[in-house]
Chains A and B, each alone.
Chain A
């Protein structure tokens, strides 16, 4: 199963993944229109540890505790991807309470958002991976 992996050795801390993610999930076709003047809410975040930076996004766990914990059945794992049915999510945030990576967050509407590997959005391929200038985030079998 392909997954998004992080090669922190190559992460430049440029934060482009965050912007590419926010853009890909904005539903808009122009990045400027999507992001200009906005506070972005990406599903991938750069964390820093000393001089080292790395991107963190949903691991799409084998046994995702967010799915087990979801009270509405909005979260499910399909073909290896933990997805959200935004119609069903009521915004109880139990998933945020349980995700060991801190990879689910609240969206502007009060429900949650998380990385869905861009499978359904304009990018169609993880935008963080596609836009990473140094292959610090990759989408591959390991």
Chain B
């Protein structure tokens, strides 16, 4: 046996005076960390298998368990961090590309946390959302720039197709395959109940969920999995996925082990075959090709569905967005570099792309400078963590936000970042039936509804504080934001003043 260079990252700490040996931990750990020793009547653990998903901790009825970071560290080195060295060990052992899941965990700046929100005092009254109407409804889609009159002088009220949202948040793309049936059902039901939208991701739409079509955004990605006419027509909108914040510039790879049963049928690929999404769409090599795809999809759906183009936030995002805004797309979705993923090469996830805050500010300003902001709605994602992030995003200029990580956290995800193993103990990023059933969509959808309801309340509170009683009066209202700890350049890009100014 070769030397194991890597000491387990976590320690399972079991309080023997509290453990009643009920064996819930053992039964609930798909990684087989815990076991029961009948002879001694004690629970044992093998921490080398632990991923710190906290399932056992959450279910232990006597709170006898905790998982802690092992303090067995390599010798301190400011340049060669523990993690860097361990990655080298792994690669030296495997010869492979490192894989990771969920969003970039590195301590890069989170601009949301450096932006503060205004409130009214004296010269303008705050509005109490408990007493006064507070509107969060949003329409996404292209808006006409010229008003037309009908022959009898009335307003011509024809609008290109719009998505109506009860609040400016949607669940962003997570494919069936990368996440479970029950996770999809939870999202679909919650979206339906909330008057919002969830997104199929690139894995097609399971036939059971066509009934939630009014609240579904169907995605067309480079692999074109599960794309057919009924699929396109089933959704309320179609999203062309050009890129993803967690892995800009590369495609996707869902291993054949996850392509089982309904996943294979829904994706329309054989069981066990790897689902590989190429880096580019093979029919899009330039912006004019995108325009063709946008219109192909519109033709296929009789111009009844808005088309979203989703791109990763990269360096020249403003120019890219300007191009998309002129491509016939109704909505641009931009995914920042902190966006989650079911699996991505670690180097890409942690080093490619730009923060969504800066991308949003740049894009919104660019589209306004070009006078085409009304052509498209702007949806941003990539680590929107709270109602205040939403409010800040809207004030910077977004029409709505996409959330996925926050949504899966609501479903129970503990961000252990091992989705790629397919052994999600919370029943989210797995296809193993005994794990999938751990997520009861009754609970899942309720928790999502709760989360969104709570956020909506908070959004309303924040809006009320600013004296704003309709979300559209917040959109692009950058005067409501101030920066702290930001450089002149950052403030300039964000288009906000420093606190105190």
Asked if A and B form a direct contact in the complex, defined as CB atoms under 8 angstroms apart, the reply is yes
Which residues of chain A have a CB within 8 Å of any CB of chain B? 7, 9-10, 12-16, 19-20, 23, 31-32, 35-37, 51, 131, 133-136
CB-based A-B contact count at 8 angstroms:
59
B438 touches A16 (CB 8 A): no
User: What are 5 A-B contacts with C-beta separation under 8 Å?
Assistant: A19-B61, A32-B17, A32-B18, A133-B58, A133-B59
Contact of B28 among A14, A31, A36, A136 (CB under 8 A): A14
B440 touches A20 (CB 8 A): no
Evaluate whether A14 and B27 lie within 8 angstroms (CB atoms) in the complex, with A19-B61, A32-B62, A131-B61 already known. Answer: yes
Is B22 among interface residues, defined by CB-CB distance under 8 A? yes
Nearest chain A CB to B208's CB is how many angstroms away?
14
8 new A-B contacts at CB < 8 Å, known A10-B440, A19-B61, A134-B437? A16-B61, A31-B61, A32-B17, A35-B22, A37-B20, A51-B433, A133-B58, A134-B439
In the complex, the chain A residue whose C-beta lies closest to that of B182 is A10
A12 touches B443 (CB 8 A): no
Total contacting residues, chain B, CB less than 8 A: 23
CB contact list, B432-468 vs A, under 8 A: 433-434, 437-440, 442-443
A35 touches B20 (CB 8 A): yes
Is B23 among interface residues, defined by CB-CB distance under 8 A? yes
Is B24 among interface residues, defined by CB-CB distance under 8 A? yes
B61 touches A12 (CB 8 A): no
In the complex, the chain A residue whose C-beta lies closest to that of B26 is A14
A19 touches B20 (CB 8 A): yes
CB contact list, B287-308 vs A, under 8 A: none
B28 touches A12 (CB 8 A): yes
Give the most central of B27, B58, B61: most A CB within 10 Å: B61
A135 touches B443 (CB 8 A): yes
Residues in B whose Cβ lies below 8 Å from that of A31:
20, 61-62
B27 touches A15 (CB 8 A): yes
The complex places the Cα of A35 from the Cα of B440 at a distance, in Å, of 28
Interface of A is mostly: loop
The complex places the Cα of A14 from the Cα of B28 at a distance, in Å, of 7
Residues in B whose Cβ lies below 8 Å from that of A134:
437-440, 443
Residues in B whose Cβ lies below 8 Å from that of A35:
20, 22, 62
B27 touches A13 (CB 8 A): yes
A51 touches B59 (CB 8 A): no
Nearest chain A CB to B359's CB is how many angstroms away?
39
Residues in A whose Cβ lies below 8 Å from that of B62:
31-32, 35
Residues in B whose Cβ lies below 8 Å from that of A36:
18-20
Contact of A136 among B17, B18, B434, B440 (CB under 8 A): B440
Query: Closest 5 A-B residue pairs measured CB to CB?
Result: A10-B440, A35-B20, A134-B440, A36-B20, A19-B22
Residues in B whose Cβ lies below 8 Å from that of A19:
20, 22, 24, 61
In the complex, the chain B residue whose C-beta lies closest to that of A131 is B61
The complex places the Cα of A136 from the Cα of B434 at a distance, in Å, of 14
B24 touches A15 (CB 8 A): yes
The complex places the Cα of A14 from the Cα of B25 at a distance, in Å, of 9
